[in-house]
Amino acid sequence: MSQLLLDVNGLTMRFGGLVAVNGVNLKVKNRQIVSVIGPNGAGKTTVFNCLSGFYIPTEGSVMLKNQQIAGLKDYQISRKGLVRTFQHVRLFQKMTVIENMLVAQHRHLNTNLFSGLLKTPNYRRLEKDAMEHAAHWLKEVRLLDYANREAGNLSYGQQRRLEIARCMVTQPELLMLDEPAAGLNPNETKELDELIISLRDEHEISILLIEHDMSLVMGISDHIYVIAQGTPLADGNAEQIKGNPDVIKAYLGEE
Amino acid sequence: MSEFSLYLLQQLINGLTIGSTYALIAIGYTMVYGIIGMINFAHGEIYMIGSYVTFIVIAGLLGMGIVSLPIILVIALVVAMFIASTYGWTVERVAYRPLRGSNRLIPLISAIGMSIFLQNFVVLAQGSRDVALPPQIIGGWNFGDPSTFEVSLSYMQVLIFAVTFISMTLLTLFISRSRMGRACRACSEDLGMTNLLGIDTNKIIALTFIVGAALAAIAGLLLGLYYGVVNPFVGFIAGLKAFTAAVLGGIGSIPGAVLGGLILGVTEAMTSAFFPSEYKDVVSFGLLVMILLFRPSGLLGKPEVEKV
Amino acid sequence: MTSSKLYNAIFAAGIALILACLMIGVKLDTDSSVLAVKGATAEQWIWIAVGISVVFLSQLFSAQVDALFGAIPKPNFKAVLPQEKKMAVLKPWLISAVIVGMLIWPFMVSRGTVDLATLTLIYIMLGLGLNIVVGLAGLLDLGFVAFYAVGAYTYALLSQYFGMSFWACLPISAGLAALFGFLLGFPVLRLRGDYLAIVTLGFGEIIRILLNNWTSLTGGPNGISGIDKPTLFGLEFNRRAKEEGAMTFHEYFDMDYSSSYKVIFLYLIAVLLVICVIYLINRLMRMPIGRAWEALREDEIACRSLGLNRTAIKLSAFTLGASTAGFAGCFFAARQGFISPESFIFIESAIILAIVVLGGMGSQMGIIFAAIIMTILPELAREFSEYRMLLFGLLMVVMMRWRPEGLVPIKRPNLELKQQ
């Protein structure tokens, strides 16, 4: 029984009187692809926001590698190895692709004022390493040729890949993708498919994903959670979910 | 009652008086912020202009030989409100409307420029020195013990309370009962949606500025009469104080602006009772910083939730 | 002429009439202790009429006016400057030429001109410092003058009470200003943009009020006078040495005393300080912290999701900007020999902000350019000094409408990935 990478119990988020997330439970093991699906407005992004620290959950426990992270701030959680992408791609539009990748490695660089001003050997080495690391990941997502282009000038599909590469360069353990396939054509979706699988298999991280594209979800998920109106509805593997009458009743029909 | 408590009572009265006027000015800030999310930096100067217009009208009418005080005040009030509203409308039209939609910094800088412009416009038009008006409303009630401490409640102060109270009531009725008021509330909830519903949001925004300016003019009249003196630079500090009051009460909330104004006024009065009076400004700003640190949504405001 | 245009024009003229009449048309005057209202002079009425006609006509012909303004080309420096590749080669030569020119120039012009140049250099320093905060990190600071004051008073007090030299006080002033920046920034930097602006404004006012009233320490409204000028390795630039046994500059070099030496010396110090600041900022923009500032300005939420601590990053910008102001303040006190709270009012913050905004937030060249304009124009247009502040306010409004990105939009130093 592999140790749980992410163990979420009773996650609840209340905004005043509105209960957006109600007692959600999730478990993600190492090297797993887990999907979270549900009708629109089910609260899936809110779950992500709670897990990543953007919101402080009202109740519940979130354990990342046996460490409680519920209540920590977003940048603290990110440093612990949980990173996420956004529904609407959030790149630094006016900065180049390579600069986006460097900003993501901020804490791995020498940020000491004097080291930078004097260009000490340590500072230069860390910058060089960061560049190489960035180049490596850009090659993985096939954006190396665009390294010096402004991020805002990339196509939508390329921007999505850049966002994922930017997350990967922070050396995470768990990558959360919020509707990564939205707006992609079938070809790009297939490439995304392969990318996610390679992230799990070759780079040995786990992926938690919110998606509406059922073919993607059913095709690559090791485990699926269904949430409707903020409440857990069902969970299981693809076969179990496909046949679950509650799920079908809730919304299944997008193929 | 002891001398000390009489003294405190006096400070309380003074504080509430000033606080009421802060409240009037603060409403202008809070309404504009509630609707377009912008601090109207030039609002303080509108108040100052209201004061000047009041002085001009009163001096003019007195010079013409009119002696009936109520008539003078009413005419001054109407003219001041009219002129100030015109200025308010123009500022919005010229300096803010064309810049809506750009990032936050740009309209704010434009607003600062407008504030400097108006201030110096008045300097050029009326001179930068103090202009004094002989007190028009004299006298009041005194109570307490003449041998220890007498608390005085001047007629001017009563007038300020009364006018403020009436203005607030009328405003509240307007906002809650009238169609335009409803539109104002809708705009401050969701400007985009209101627009889509077919309401001319530009008109509503302009109305907000006009109402705010009118209230500031009332404050200008009241404070001008109360202090008896005005100069082109009173708008700056008054504006900051009023903004503090608006934030204190919860920006976007009109009752909040009133509450904030009163609290600020009383705090200032109490401070100047025990410390040198120059430091009361320090206390006001300190209060602003405290509120923004510990309860940025203010006393009556709703905490805002960021969405991703 | 459509009737709606005519209606608009009449409406606008009517508004102008209302606005103008009661403010310019009548004047409050104290006629032997009685407040009276005087009508405007005939000349003023003419000006009002002219103003109203301008408004009327510009509204009536608004389409043509817009076209006219649209036809005014926005200054396109790209067309003027040579191409990038050539620039890269030319740049070191250009910079050397400029530096050499700046060093030689003061010996050829009048003392007053050099003095003006020194003032300009101070504003350049202040503008560059505020640029870090506003232009690079995107934080609107309206109380920048407070850090300027801290720097100035630090040197003034240390020099007065402990006799410390200018050079020793420079880093101390910068450090103390940085500390104030840290203390102020720490609690307030997480506030939203406009709130931050007001709070910093309030802080600037608090500092001024404290300086004005803490008479025992700061001399109150009278300020501190008799501040020592900087020395060149101990050589003083006065007519007679202040201290026992100290040498004056002209004595050492066996020359006649001339006050020009002092002025030129100050100018050269200013040049040195500005060069340091420019170098510092250029380095910062290419370091991780500079990239973080820009990223934070672009998308704060993305930064947070990548593990960047936005408070720490904002704080670094704020503190560095403050220390630059402290630097400038120390020099200001040394140059003036006398400081008072009057020099540190809100308008100064607004002027420095205007320099940053005019110059193009983030663009160093633009800010230098804007600082020069802002300092020199009032000198050239002495007759209009009454209207100076009025035009200043108007300029800010107009710039925001016409060219908010500033005169010289920033050309980002992009980090390039060199392909193997």
Q: Which of C132, C135, C151, C142 is nearest to C191 (CA)?
A: C142
What is the pLDDT, as a whole number, of residue A1?
A: 41
Q: How many CA atoms lie within 13 A of B43 on its CB side?
A: 33
Query: CB of C222 within 8 A of CB of C153?
Result: no
Q: Cβ contact (<8 Å) for C205 and B121?
A: no
State the pLDDT at residue C411. 63
- Kindly state whether C401 is in contact with chain B, defined as any CB-CB distance less than 8 angstroms: yes
The answer to whether A58 contacts chain B (CB < 8 Å) is no
Burial annotation B213-231 (CB, 10 A radius, 16+ → b, else e):
bbbbbbbbbbbbbbbbebb
Q: Read out DSSP for B191-243? A: HHHHHHTT--HHHHHHHHHHHHHHHHHHHHHHHHHHH-EE-TTHHHHHHHHHH
Domain that holds residue A131: 92-171
Chain B residues close to C404, C-beta within 8 Å: 99, 102, 106
On chain B, the residues whose CB falls within 8 A of the CB of C390 are: 116-117, 120-121, 123-124
Q: Is B283 on the interface with C (CB under 8 A)?
A: no
Contact C195 B116 (CB under 8 A): no
Mean of the pLDDT values across residues B193-218? 88
Q: Is B305 on the interface with A (CB under 8 A)?
A: yes
Q: Is the pLDDT of residue B161 over 60?
A: yes
Judged by a CB distance cut-off of 8 A, whether residue A45 touches chain C is: no
Q: Does C187 touch chain B (CB under 8 A)?
A: yes
Structure tokens at A16: 């005043």
Same structural domain for residues A52 and A12?
A: yes
Same domain, residue pair A77 and A189:
yes
Residue A55 maps to a domain: yes
A166 and A187 both lie in a single domain: no
In angstroms, the separation between the Cα of residue B30 and the nearest Cα of chain A is 23
pLDDT of residue C34: 64
Size of interface A-B (CB pairs under 8 A): 7
Closest by Cβ to C298, choosing from A95, A117, A148: A95
- Residues belonging to chain B: 308
Q: Note whether A11 and A23 are same-domain residues.
A: yes
Q: Which residue has the tokens 């005169």?
A: C407
How far does the CA of residue A31 sit from the closest CA of chain C (Å)? 21
What are the backbone angles phi and psi of residue C406, rounded to the nearest 5°? 95, 175
Alpha helices in C109-245 (DSSP H): 111-131, 145-162, 166-188, 193-213, 215-218
Q: How far apart are CA C43 and CA A209, in angstroms?
A: 75
What residues in A contact C178, CB-CB < 8 Å?
none
A94 touches chain C (CB under 8 A): yes
Q: What percent of chain B has pLDDT over 70?
A: 96
Task: Identify whether A86 is part of a domain.
Answer: no
* Interchain CB distance below 8 Å, C289 and A111: yes
Query: A22-26, B57-61, B220-224 — which is least confidently predicted?
Result: B57-61
Contact by Cβ (8 Å): A166, A101: yes
Q: Is C198 on the interface with B (CB under 8 A)?
A: yes
For the domain bounded by B3-294, which CATH number is listed? 1.10.3470
Q: Is residue A87 part of a domain?
A: no
Q: Could A109 and C414 be called an inter-chain contact, meaning their C-beta atoms sit closer than 8 Å?
A: no
B80 — pLDDT class (breaks 50, 70, 90):
very high
**B59 in C contact zone (CB under 8 Å):** yes
Contact B90 C15 (CB under 8 A): yes
A134 — contact with chain C (CB < 8 Å)? yes
Residues A231 and A121 in one domain: no
For A203, the token pair is: 């780079």
Domains delineated in chain C: 3-65 (no CATH), 87-231+261-402 (1.10.3470)
* CB spacing of C393 vs B119 below 8 angstroms: yes
pLDDT band at B60 (very low <50, low <70, confident <90, very high): confident
CB-CB neighbors (< 8 A) of A167 in chain C: 306
The Cα of B302 is separated from the nearest Cα of chain A by a number of Å equal to: 10
Say if CB C131 and CB C274 are below 8 A apart: no
Is A236 within the bounds of a domain? yes
Does A187 lie in the same domain as A77? yes
- Most B CBs within 10 A among C37, C58, C62, hence the mutation to make, goes to C37
pLDDT tier for residue B295 given thresholds of 50, 70 and 90:
confident
**One domain for residues A204 and A104:** no
Task: Note the pLDDT of residue C420.
Answer: 43
pLDDT, position C95: 80
| DSSP assignment letter at A229 | T
C-alpha distance from A219 to closest chain C C-alpha (Å): 28
Q: What CATH number does residue A202 fall under?
A: 3.40.50.300
* Contact yes or no for A86 and B305 at CB 8 A: no
Positions of E strands within C272-357: 338-339
pLDDT tens digits, chain C, 420 residues: what are they? 567 777 777 888 888 887 877 666 667 776 655 666 777 677 777 777 887 888 787 777 777 777 776 676 666 555 555 566 666 677 778 788 888 888 887 777 787 888 888 999 999 999 999 999 988 888 889 999 999 999 999 999 998 888 888 888 999 999 999 999 999 888 888 787 778 888 898 888 888 888 888 888 878 888 888 777 877 776 777 666 666 666 677 666 766 667 777 888 888 889 999 999 999 988 888 889 999 998 988 888 999 999 999 889 999 999 999 999 999 999 999 998 889 898 898 888 988 988 888 888 778 888 998 899 888 887 777 777 778 888 888 888 888 887 777 766 666 666 666 654
Mean pLDDT by 10 residues, chain A (255 residues): 80 88 91 89 87 91 91 92 92 91 88 81 89 91 89 91 93 92 88 90 90 86 89 87 81 54
Res A255: pLDDT? 47
Note whether B308 contacts A15, CB cutoff 8 Å.
no
- The minimum CA-CA distance between B306 and chain A, rounded to whole Å, is 9
Q: Are B83 and B49 in contact (CB under 8 A)?
A: yes
What confidence score (pLDDT) does residue C68 get? 72
Own/partner pairs for B177-181, CB < 8 Å, 24+ apart? B180/B204, B180/B207
Cβ of C140 within 8 Å of Cβ of B108? The answer is yes
Touching partners of A (3+ C-beta pairs < 8 Å) = B, C
Q: How far is CA C206 from CA A22, B239, C282, C400, in A?
A: 48, 15, 33, 29
Say how many domains are in chain A. Answer: 2
Helix, coil or strand: residue C53: helix
The length of chain C in residues reads 420
H-run or E-run covering C376 = helix C364-380
Does residue A166 sit in the same domain as residue A182? Answer: no
Report CA dihedral (C230, C233, C237, C239) to the nearest 10 degrees: 130
Query: Residue A86 and residue B308: Cβ atoms within 8 Å?
Result: yes
ipTM comes to 0.89
Q: Are residues A161 and A199 located together in one domain of the fold?
A: no
Chain A: residue nearest B305 by CA? A15
CA dihedral B56, B61, B65, B69 (to 10 degrees): -110
Of A106, A138, A171, which closes a domain?
A171
What token pair was written down for B112?
Answer: 């600062």
**B308 at interface of A, judged by CB pairs closer than 8 A:** yes
Nearest to C357 among B39, B53, B109 (CB): B109
Instruction: Give the span between the Cα atoms of B13 and A1, in whole angstroms.
Output: 74
- Exposed e or buried b for every residue in C17-50, given b needs 16+ CB within 10 A? bbbbebbbbbbbeeeeeebebeebeeeeeeebee
Residues A164 and A182 in one domain: no
Rg (CA), chain C: 25
Same domain as A50, residue A7: yes
Average pLDDT, chain B: 85
Residues A146 and A69 in one domain: no
Tell whether A114 lies on the interface with C, counting CB pairs under 8 A. Answer: no
pTM of structure: 0.86
Q: By CA distance, what is C295's nearest residue in A?
A: A92
Contact partners for chain C, using 3 or more CB pairs closer than 8 A, are A, B
Neighbours of C187 (CB within 10 A): 15
